[in-house]
Structure 1
């Protein structure tokens, strides 16, 4: 039974444009379309940040190559020498949100995930020759037979992925307009600026937006704090705390999100209260203490309690559990970020948050280039 969601209706509408009354039957008989249905369920949700488009685009560029080379509804694809890897990767990086994509989806990730969802289907979406670095879409998955009539879904697959990307872009377009507004708000009433920032601190806000906003708040908040340090009491150095962003926002790169100088504190931003996520972050820095910035209104005590409960179920041994919990240096939730905003207002530095959000958003969402298009 196919699980339907909000974007499923778009898929069916696209199918109907191409195949009229046969749309539903083709959908039901196509593992590839069902895979796309699974992969597009987040189209209208804001809970995730950057769309995970590696597998979508691996499929997209191969289907596009299949169409552009004239094999759609032809019978000679088996004679095709295959698409070059370099051409496919370059094309992926030309697509929206694709500029940082690597080779994983083309080489194995798409096929592995497809097999996970459809373990009984021997056919895999991507065929490749490792020695020549040539790639083909599996045409057997593009040809669907309904009532003894064969239909080619290549155009539909490309159309569905285009529609999905457009849907995902909409939330980013909205935020881009907010960022433009930020720069105009900056010199106006602080109440407008504060209200705007607080709208970005909701449990259902886009994770990418939350990471940018929390970074701007924390950087501004800590900038007013000073420490004195040195190698002797006679020679102490006075320094403000500086927070650095260490990589792409909400990237699945195995890194730490923020680092503070000169204290060397690590900060990790997360949407979940999942012990596996927390302990994975702790393990990758060899149990170095980490401050977790959590997109939640639950109290820090409740969050810690949930982490502890999950940890006990997972590990059973108190010594192991306590070792991990000792590495949770601090938990910063949404109410604490609101408190920090109030402190920043009292210090008269609210415009610093706005400027930082605008800068980070321009970097993350490519606002300059978007505005020029």
Structure 2
């Protein structure tokens, strides 16, 4: 894909878009989601500080916090300097969402959901399932209010398109390759062994 990228970028775009599907391996979906979102936020800035006449301008930076599907109870991505948390999931089990919200003490969180369903439908299903268990709607509303944003596959595809327009296709591909090497324990020495 790296060799094809300069001569036939449409093949690279098709390859990456193909990894944004409900039936794709969860680890690959998380890697591709991270790579796209990293460069989607890359050129966005915030101004912050303690005094209005002394503000600092910073790019938004998205960091991956560990291995994919590590089952380590951690959060998948974190954004600096805003401190936004991102969790990638493929389930609509409300218990998973509420547990992730509890992990960060009901701090706002963005969920990246491996689904083509509309965001309103996804949120509706999570809430409807919670209503079957919790009798107090105030509890459900408190948890649901912690969901800062939901990013589904159509949103990821839209953001992928925007990053391509900004010239980040090669960067995204390189990030997918780098993250995949880490995830699948692939080293350069294996590459040399295969060549011999």
Whether TM-score is above 0.5 comes out as yes
Map 1:129-208 onto structure 2 (within 5 A).
182-208=1-27
The one of the two structures with greater contact order (alpha-carbon pairs below 8 A, sep at least 6) is 2
1:234 paired residue among 53, 56, 70? 53
The 8 Å contact of residues 185 and 192 in structure 1, kept in 2 or not, is answered as yes
Write the distance in 1 (CA, Å) between the matches of 2:182 and 2:7.
Answer: 24
Give the gaps of 5 or more residues in structure 1: 1-181
Asked if 1:345 corresponds to 2:164, the answer is yes
Write the distance in 1 (CA, Å) between the matches of 2:185 and 2:14.
Answer: 25
Deviations 1:251-277 (A, max 9, x none): 100000000000000000001111011
Write the distance in 2 (CA, Å) between the matches of 1:312 and 1:344.
Answer: 38
Secondary structure of the residue aligned to 1:366 is coil
Secondary structure of the residue aligned to 1:219 is helix
Map 1:16-35 onto structure 2 (within 5 A).
none
2:99 paired residue among 270, 276, 280? 280
Write the distance in 2 (CA, Å) between the matches of 1:289 and 1:234.
Answer: 29
Write the distance in 1 (CA, Å) between the matches of 2:135 and 2:23.
Answer: 33
Asked if 1:317 corresponds to 2:136, the answer is yes
Write the distance in 2 (CA, Å) between the matches of 1:370 and 1:303.
Answer: 42
Asked if 1:225 corresponds to 2:44, the answer is yes
The 8 Å contact of residues 289 and 327 in structure 1, kept in 2 or not, is answered as yes
Which consecutive aligned stretches of 4+ in structure 1 deviate over 6 angstroms post-superposition? none
Write the distance in 1 (CA, Å) between the matches of 2:8 and 2:142.
Answer: 48
1:292 alignment counterpart = 111
Using the TM superposition, give the Cα deviation of residue 188 of structure 1 relative to its aligned residue in structure 2, in angstroms. 2.5
Using the TM superposition, give the Cα deviation of residue 187 of structure 1 relative to its aligned residue in structure 2, in angstroms. 2.5
Write the distance in 1 (CA, Å) between the matches of 2:190 and 2:144.
Answer: 43
The 8 Å contact of residues 244 and 259 in structure 1, kept in 2 or not, is answered as yes
Which structure has the greater CA radius of gyration?
1
Q: What TM-score results when the alignment is normalised by the length of structure 2? A: 0.95
Write the distance in 2 (CA, Å) between the matches of 1:360 and 1:337.
Answer: 18
Using the TM superposition, give the Cα deviation of residue 370 of structure 1 relative to its aligned residue in structure 2, in angstroms. 4.1
Deviations 1:229-254 (A, max 9, x none): 11111111111100000011111000
Map 1:79-158 onto structure 2 (within 5 A).
none
Give the gaps of 5 or more residues in structure 2: none
Write the distance in 1 (CA, Å) between the matches of 2:9 and 2:56.
Answer: 35
Write the distance in 1 (CA, Å) between the matches of 2:89 and 2:179.
Answer: 18
Using the TM superposition, give the Cα deviation of residue 316 of structure 1 relative to its aligned residue in structure 2, in angstroms. 1.5
Using the TM superposition, give the Cα deviation of residue 367 of structure 1 relative to its aligned residue in structure 2, in angstroms. 2.0
1:38 alignment counterpart = none
